[in-house]
Amino acid sequence: MGEAAREAGFSQRTAYACQLAVTEACENIIQHGYGSEPSGEIEARIRASSGELTIELLDSAPPFNPAARPPARPWTSQDPPVGGLGLIMIHKVMDEVKYRRKGRRNWLLLRKRAPSPGA
């Protein structure tokens, strides 16, 4: 995933942020989707082009829409919340987050675009 982000032309910092967002999405699928299941699969499709990185995650866990932007929760650096910030982080890092239920599978699209020159 990091290599694909670098192929898209992203800095090491942006590549790491994208990796973190994808890791969080996968962790949510495992923890909240498959939860009590003894096993489950996540299929990852990664595409890189100049200035754009697209990740598709497919799983057969129960339906869950992480594309709905969660409300921001107030907190301070002295009293940060434990858990519950993953979706907020995914939406902050990625430029596009889409979800669909396709048959018996969840389809999650995460996309990051490089800023336009002069933007």
Query: What's the pLDDT score for residue 35?
Result: 87
Alpha-carbon gap, residue 29 to 40, rounded angstroms: 9
Query: What's the pLDDT score for residue 67?
Result: 83
- Summarize pLDDT for 9-25 with one digit per residue, the tens: 999 999 999 999 999 99
Burial class (CB in 10 A: 0-12, 13-18, 19+), 73: exposed
- Summarize pLDDT for 22-61 with one digit per residue, the tens: 999 999 999 888 988 888 999 999 999 999 999 999 999 9
For the cut 70, the answer to whether the pLDDT of residue 80 exceeds it is no
CATH superfamily of 2-72+83-113: Histidine kinase-like ATPase, C-terminal domain (3.30.565.10)
- Summarize pLDDT for 85-114 with one digit per residue, the tens: 788 889 999 999 999 999 999 999 999 999
Query: What's the pLDDT score for residue 13?
Result: 94
Smallest Cα–Cα separation from 54: which of 84, 12, 95?
95
Q: Which residues pair with 109 in a beta bridge?
A: 56, 98
Query: What's the pLDDT score for residue 119?
Result: 46
